[in-house]
Amino acid sequence: MPSRKLRVLVVDDAVVVRKIVGDVLEEDPAIEVAATAPNGRIALQKLTQVNPDVVTLDVEMPELGGIETLRALRRTHPELPVIMFSTLTERGATATIEALVAGASDYVTKPANVGSVSLARQRIRDELIPKLKSVCRLTPAVDTARGIAPRAAATTSGHACDIVAIGVSTGGPNALAAILPQLPASFPVPIVLVQHMPPVFTRLLAERLDSQCALRIREAADGDALQAGCVYIAPGDHHLVVRREQGRGVAALNQRPPENSCRPAVDVLFRSVADAYGAATLGVVLTGMGQDGLLGCEVIKEAGGSVIAQDEATSVVWGMPGFVSRAGLADEIVPLREVAATLLARAAMTPCR
């Protein structure tokens, strides 16, 4: 941990929200509120004045909205972490997805009843503060959090994959928007995917990515027959599992208890894919907080499958891929720009030039 406190610029048009967020952040000994701003225009002016380490940015604001502010901020501060503050509404979710694809680091949803001060304060403690620290790399090294000693990288199985299973969290929409458009419609195997997001958000993410890709991308439905060239995203608040029926993969959804505090959970998906596809499974762990996917990757390796992890330099948070890498479970650790080419090679295809 650095000797100085983490400096946060809080941007929200609601006075009560700025007050609540500021008060709770100041209670944390590792954080200080460098400044607050009621709209995007004032926020952009304060950036150079207060030099924050991270910005919390309301999605919907007058004068200059969150997305417009984010785009302007990215032109002058391309690496500055930004966490969007969003409402759990269709409009708020749509704007949040757009912001994430435009380069926001992560998001936190506001409590449904902002009038409940205690609920709002608890949401900030439980969700916003951990994300602020993670995107600013103020969390403990991933190999110490579970007592995992670094091991040698796993050996490649040598099998061409019959399915790709992807797990991703913080920074995921931006990472997926960089990877999936590079894959052709002729990609020869199905892709199943868990992105940690609530309901509505996952559907809108699927629609947004589908409009940008040659692949067909949809939110998974119970009973979907998995097809090559298609991506199936786990719906918010539902685990996605894969089973074999008459020789082909079929998606199934359930609402069993969360794992790693997540539903959907990467571990749940990875275990089911390893059970259904064995050595023909390719697991991919991209940027994200926590260690969801670690135990699932262990099962994939035990089944003879392969695992790819995103590298630290290109991850918004090297939590999920960091745990997998340091546990020696990754056959390859690759930067974001090389993930698509690696998937093509693993699926026995020649990358498009």
Q: Any idea what the Cα angle at residue 248 is, between residues 246 and 254, rounded to 5°?
A: 100
Pick from 190, 165, 167, 172: nearest CA to 305: 165
C-alpha span between 314 and 335 (Å, rounded)? 6
Q: Which residues pair with 192 in a beta bridge?
A: 165, 232
Q: Is 196 a catalytic residue?
A: yes
Q: Among the options 134, 169, 306, 325, which is catalytic?
A: 169
Do residues 174 and 100 make contact, with C-beta atoms less than 8 angstroms apart? yes
Handedness of CA 201, 58, 180, 159 (dihedral sign): negative
Can you tell me whether residue 248 is helix, strand or coil? strand
Q: Among the options 86, 134, 196, 331, which is catalytic?
A: 196
Q: Among the options 292, 306, 325, 331, which is catalytic?
A: 292
C-alpha span between 25 and 8 (Å, rounded)? 9
Q: What is the DSSP letter of 227?
A: -
Do residues 159 and 305 make contact, with C-beta atoms less than 8 angstroms apart? yes
Provide the token pair at 250: 């079929």
C-alpha span between 233 and 126 (Å, rounded)? 26
Pick from 56, 63, 281, 83: nearest CA to 191: 281
Identity (one letter) of the amino acid at 72?
A
Catalytic residues: 169, 196, 292
